[in-house]
Amino acid sequence: MQGLPTRASSSTLRLPVAVVTFDVFQSVALFILVVALLVVLLSHAVSRIRTWFCLLISVALYCVSFLLLAGHQTGPEPSVGWCAFQAGLIHAAPPLVAVAAFIFMVELYIRLTAVTLSREVNNNVIYWMPWALPLVHSMAFWVALLIGLTDTRTIERHPSGLYCRINQHIPPIFSGALVVFFSALMVILEVYTAIHLYRQRMLIKRIDSHKTEFPLQTFIRMGVITVLGSFAIAMVFIVTKGAEEGPLLNILPAMPFAVALVFGFQKDILLALVCWRIRKPESYKKLTSRLRV
């Protein structure tokens, strides 16, 4: 299959540092995410909720989607087939991250309310939620790919050289609609969860001021998930209609790198890496064993 028509893109030729920086950040984020996943999977001392794995795997796939063009980001254009495949993954990556963040928040809410209200966790909902990931990703991927193949002239390497895209209206609109929908649901759920937890915290303090408070890291990660929604919306704009070069493109590797730092450098994961465990108060362990985020 012949390559795409070669364009004399001066921006591509003068951006080798940007290309290297972009690939390094994506690669480092991917490495941290994979290590964190392997530690949790192989360690008996570390456990996580089901959708934690979904979120990290989704962000790792996001990194892989962008790294597929490594080696073809400058110089001759990649083949139409390879560029179309990567462009489909690029258009599907933001919706995948958005839905993964949303179902993570749903499971977190289910488990937090179960802890605070002393009731059983609804495992049926938790079991079926991850199936939304391949469904949403496949929809966004095939919509972008099939529309791109109707006019292969719109399948192109981004002027920055960092990735391929399909320069038509429907793929970004479809991906953007999915991202906005799941991000809006996620923000609404997080606000509701925060209000619920605040009320429960006040109630617990009135009953027993010595009770252990909810772990701070849970709230921090809830905030990170909310920011993910904004990142995902920005990514849709940048990937499809955004700037051809400059600071805006730095957002693309910033999102997975932030997730890798917040979710990959957790204390128990780091301790598992050095084969050392720290003892926690029983009340704290009882709560976090049910949350595991």
Contact 219, 144 (CB under 8 A): no
More confident residue, 181 or 283: 181
Tokens of 177: 């609609």
Q: How does pLDDT run across 25-54, given as a tens digit for each residue?
A: 999 999 999 998 988 888 777 778 889 899
Buried/exposed code over 133-165 (b: 16+ C-beta within 10 A; e: otherwise): beebbeebbebbbebbeeeeebbbbbbbbbbbb
Q: What is the mean pLDDT of residues 14-31?
A: 84
- Say how many C-beta atoms besides its own lie within 10 A of residue 65's C-beta: 23
Contact 51, 130 (CB under 8 A): yes
Average pLDDT over the chain reads 77
Q: How does pLDDT run across 259-277, given as a tens digit for each residue?
A: 888 887 776 677 766 664 4
Query: Looking at residue 169, what is its pLDDT?
Result: 86
Q: Mind listing the domains of the chain with CATH numbers?
A: 11-291 (1.20.1070.10)
Q: Is the pTM of this model over 0.85?
A: no
